[in-house]
């Protein structure tokens, strides 16, 4: 979907424009941002420089790119990190800055690949609130792939559940929460004592 691999069949389009067959740089230019499970930040550059470079890669001039980088860091509450080198970031902040860099592209859709992986509960809760606010703040869609069900339930309006590569459920959080196939596969319901509680913000 972000152009890193060419589809073997079918097509991926955004506003009628083919995305999947022309590579990630083209996808970024037409409005697809993404993060990776590994941060992939430019570790020898500052946080601000990372976001500025991303914005310039989407076609912005230097002045506009710097302004957008600063605005995103302010929104994330990370403005004090602008001059910090990325090789000194904590793991949680590295993941957050990765999302900020994807948003610097001014995307129509941002694709997040397991952003809560390796985070503790407090970091995951903060990330959940951040992700949930992206559509309203940036007027873009969010596609989130995540195994942390608390983050999914608190951040997503519509959920598509896979188990072993097969779709087992699709719907809003309330419907997914009470789906017996999902409860067995992801929420710990083995038929002996019910479903593991899931907290939603």
Q: Are 47 and 98 in contact (CB under 8 A)?
A: no
Strand partners, 18: 13
Tell me the pLDDT tens digit for each residue of 61-115: 999 999 999 999 999 999 999 999 999 999 889 999 999 999 999 999 999 999 9
Does residue 55 lie within any of the structural domains? yes
Spatial neighbors of 77 by CB under 8 A, at least 6 apart, are: none
Residue 200 pLDDT = 38
50 in a structural domain: yes
Domains of the chain: total: 1
Q: What is the rounded distance in angstroms from the CA atom of residue 18 to the CA atom of residue 168?
A: 29
Q: Please, where are the H alpha helices in the chain? A: 24-30, 47-57, 62-76, 91-103, 121-138, 149-155, 173-177, 180-185
Domain assignment present for residue 183? The answer is no
In a domain, 72, yes or no: yes
**pLDDT score of 196 more than 50:** no
> Is there a domain that residue 142 lies in?
yes
For the chain, the C-alpha Rg in angstroms (whole number) is 18
**Has residue 194 been placed in a domain?**
no
* Distant-in-sequence, close-in-space partners of 67: CB < 8 Å, separation ≥ 6: none
Q: What average pLDDT does the segment 120-135 reach?
A: 93
The rounded distance, in Å, linking the Cα atoms of 21 and 197 is: 42
Asked, for residue 77, whether it belongs to a domain, the answer is yes
What separation in angstroms does the CA of 186 have from each of 41, 73, 111, 154, 197?
31, 34, 22, 16, 11
> pTM for this one?
0.84
Contacting residues for 53 by C-beta, under 8 A, at least 6 apart: 42, 45, 65
Question: ∠ CA(32), CA(36), CA(41), 5° rounding?
Answer: 100
Rounded Cα gap, residues 2 and 22, in angstroms: 9
The answer to whether residue 194 scores a pLDDT higher than 60 is no
**Domain span at 95:** 31-156
Would you say residue 177 lies in a domain?
no
**What CATH number corresponds to the domain at position 105?**
3.40.50.300
pLDDT at 136 over 60: yes
């Amino acid at each position: 979907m972000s152009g890193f691999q060419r589809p073997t069949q079918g097509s991926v389009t955004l506003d009628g424009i083919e995305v999947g067959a022309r590579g990630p740089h083209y996808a970024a230019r037409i409005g697809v941002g993404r993060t990776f499970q590994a941060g992939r930040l430019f570790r020898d550059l500052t946080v601000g420089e990372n976001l500025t470079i991303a914005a310039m890669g989407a076609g912005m001039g230097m002045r506009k790119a710097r302004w957008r980088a600063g605005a995103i860091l302010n929104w994330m509450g990370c403005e004090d990190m602008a001059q910090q080198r990325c090789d000194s970031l904590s793991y949680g902040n590295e993941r957050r800055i990765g999302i900020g860099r994807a948003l610097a592209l001014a995307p129509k859709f941002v694709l997040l690949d397991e952003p809560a992986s390796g985070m503790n509960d407090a970091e995951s809760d903060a990330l959940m609130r951040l992700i949930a606010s992206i559509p309203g703040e940036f007027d873009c869609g969010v596609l989130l792939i995540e195994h942390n069900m608390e983050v999914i339930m608190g951040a997503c309006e519509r959920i598509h559940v896979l188990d072993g590569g097969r779709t087992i459920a699709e719907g809003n959080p309330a419907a997914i929460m009470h789906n017996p196939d999902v409860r067995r596969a992801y929420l710990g319901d083995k038929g002996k004592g019910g479903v593991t509680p899931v907290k939603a913000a």
